[in-house]
Structure 1
Amino acid sequence: MRTIVITGGTDGIGRGLALRRLAEGERVVVLGSDPAKGARLLQEAVRLGAGERAGFVQADLGSVARSRAVAAELAAAHPAVDALVLGAYRYNPARVRTAEGFEQTFALYVLSRHLLAEGLRGSLERAAGTPVILSLCGVGGIKAGTIRWDDLQREREPYRAGRVTMQGARANDLLGVSFAERHAGGRTRYVLYNPGFVATGMTQSLRRPMRGLTKAAAALFAQPVDRAVGPIAALLDRPPAGPLSAFFRGRPVGLDRPEFDRANAARLHAALLSLLGEPALE
């Protein structure tokens, strides 16, 4: 029985993937910030006959301390993890600063993914099959998003949610490049995946009139969660042979694009270590 850990697993794609894997007989541990949503997911697991294989960990991954603690707790509870799906994301229409002093989107979307991938790497390496990290919402080669190297948390300019989100997506691409480069001798594969426009609950955090416009667009153009989950599940079952791969809606994206520049990946890794107060020893 495989063990799958999914961040952001109480909504949208994460929830759809969790329920699919539970229905297929796997053990799933979901991380989410809302205990009510976690309880509903566990109730659904019971209805599927999978209650004993479902776990929920309440965690605000916008907190660096909590991300570190959760990674350690999961590693202790699960010596072997077959797949880590990084899907936690929250759209913030206005700037939010965490208690630790980080811009919240950056903390949740970038820092937590770095901390969980590194914190669970030992468990992943001990998986019986081919372990995989799959990061959702990386732009996967799409020409959008700019990293402000001199201002990673965008503190020196007016807050623009779209720009902050796209910078996080670009950084997530580089996180994958960095992981694959630094752990090239390991067994864990890293997959960057952009599902495209999917009908999820993200519109609830938007302001009017953007909320209504986005809902209307989703009704016309967005693919349903069940359809979006299929290619992701397939990649977890059969990850590509290389240490790093990227996909947009199931289609491969070439890694020779400038968005996957190795020097920039190393630069981002060094910047994250500095922000997190970690030694540059990897």
Structure 2
Amino acid sequence: MKNIVISGGTDGIGKALALHDLNRGDNVIVIGRNTKKGTVFLDAAIEIDANTRTSFIPADLSLINENKKVIEEIKTKFSKVDVIVLCARHYRTIRFETAEGFEENFALFYLSRFLLSHGMVESLEKADNPVIMNVAGPGADMSVMHWDDLELKQGYNGGIALAQGGKLNDLLGVDFAYRHNAGRTRYVLFKPGMTSTGFSGEYDAQTATHITAMKKFGKPVEKSIAPIIDLMDSPPAEPLSAFVEGKRISVEHKYFDKDSATRLYEITQELLSH
């Protein structure tokens, strides 16, 4: 029996993974901002007689303080954590800043994953074969990075924010693997490809039409999670690995540049210190 934590676990890929893990007897904590979806998830757990192994933590992970509270709550519920799956993401056509002053996509898609990754290391290292599964979009080139404007205060575009978010998570994985190289925790970056999933977001009319098409023509969630499940069960031996729709890609490529990863880590620490 494993202890599994899934951010963005009340919808789409995250929810499908959570129900799969519950069905095979694991303990699962899901994190999400929508309490109604959380209740629906808990009801689904009751239907498969897994309610005693299920927890829902309502939290807005775009807020730094909420992430810190979640980390502490997870530590009180689980003596160790075997798997963390990072799925939470929310698209916005119009730029929005959180109450803490961060651009929301940057905060949710990147800062939250940074905090959950580094904040849960102690709990992960207590497990036999721990893994962080970061469901993002590995492999983009460095041109998507806006080093002088990471929060896109100038020329914001939702698609650009998501593209940069994927690269931020690439660099997060690179730096995490370097800093925790002596530990057991493996970091896996995974791009599921176009999937008919929840597509959490607030869209203008043009983007909404595109999302409708993606839902119609995207892969079923069950197909997208199959390789994720395999990697959760048997993570690669290397500290960092990356996959696109189940196919492994090299993390020795210049797109996974260690110097850039270190630079981002230092910028992030500075932002979080304020």
Q: If the TM-score is normalised by the length of the shorter chain, which range does it land in?
A: over 0.9
Identical aligned pairs, as a percentage? 41
2:271 is equivalent to residue 275 of structure 1 = yes
8 Å Cα contact 2:199/2:211 also seen in 1: no
Letter in 2 for 1:260: F
Residue 198 of structure 1 is matched in structure 2 by 195
Residue 130 of structure 1 is matched in structure 2 by 129
Aligned counterparts of 1:185 and 1:198: Cα–Cα separation in 2: 35
Residue 206 of structure 2 is matched in structure 1 by 209
> What SS is found at the alignment partner of 1:44?
helix
> What SS is found at the alignment partner of 2:188?
strand
Aligned counterparts of 1:188 and 1:41: Cα–Cα separation in 2: 28
Aligned counterparts of 2:168 and 2:225: Cα–Cα separation in 1: 23
2:184 is equivalent to residue 187 of structure 1 = yes
Letter in 1 for 2:131: V
Output aligned runs, 1:135-154, within 5 Å.
135-137=134-136, 139-143=137-141, 146-154=144-152
Aligned counterparts of 1:52 and 1:167: Cα–Cα separation in 2: 39
Letter in 2 for 1:206: Y
Change (3 A) 1:151 1:230: same
Aligned counterparts of 1:144 and 1:41: Cα–Cα separation in 2: 38
Shift of 1:42: 0.5
Aligned counterparts of 2:120 and 2:84: Cα–Cα separation in 1: 8
Residue 46 of structure 1 is matched in structure 2 by 46
Change (3 A) 1:217 1:83: closer
> What SS is found at the alignment partner of 1:209?
helix
Deviations 1:11-51 (A, max 9, x none): 10000000011011111000000111001001001101111
Residue 243 of structure 1 is matched in structure 2 by 239
**Count of aligned positions:** 274
Letter in 1 for 2:138: G
Residue 15 of structure 2 is matched in structure 1 by 15
> What SS is found at the alignment partner of 1:163?
helix
Output aligned runs, 1:93-112, within 5 Å.
93-112=93-112
Shift of 1:150: 1.4
Instruction: Judge which range, 41-50 or 202-211, deviates more.
Output: 202-211
Q: Once superposed, what is the RMSD of the aligned Cα atoms?
A: 1.4
Aligned counterparts of 1:176 and 1:142: Cα–Cα separation in 2: 14
Aligned counterparts of 1:168 and 1:213: Cα–Cα separation in 2: 20
> What SS is found at the alignment partner of 2:144?
coil
8 Å Cα contact 2:26/2:53 also seen in 1: yes
8 Å Cα contact 1:145/1:163 also seen in 2: no
8 Å Cα contact 2:92/2:201 also seen in 1: no
Residue 255 of structure 1 is matched in structure 2 by 251
Q: Which runs of 5+ in 1 are unaligned?
A: none
TM-score normalised by L of structure 2: 0.97
Aligned counterparts of 1:145 and 1:30: Cα–Cα separation in 2: 34
Deviations 1:218-271 (A, max 9, x none): 323x10101111110110000001000000000001112222000000000000
Letter in 2 for 1:148: H
Letter in 2 for 1:257: H
Aligned counterparts of 2:53 and 2:170: Cα–Cα separation in 1: 31
Shift of 1:212: 2.2
Residue 225 of structure 2 is matched in structure 1 by 229
Shift of 1:204: 5.9
Aligned counterparts of 2:180 and 2:142: Cα–Cα separation in 1: 27
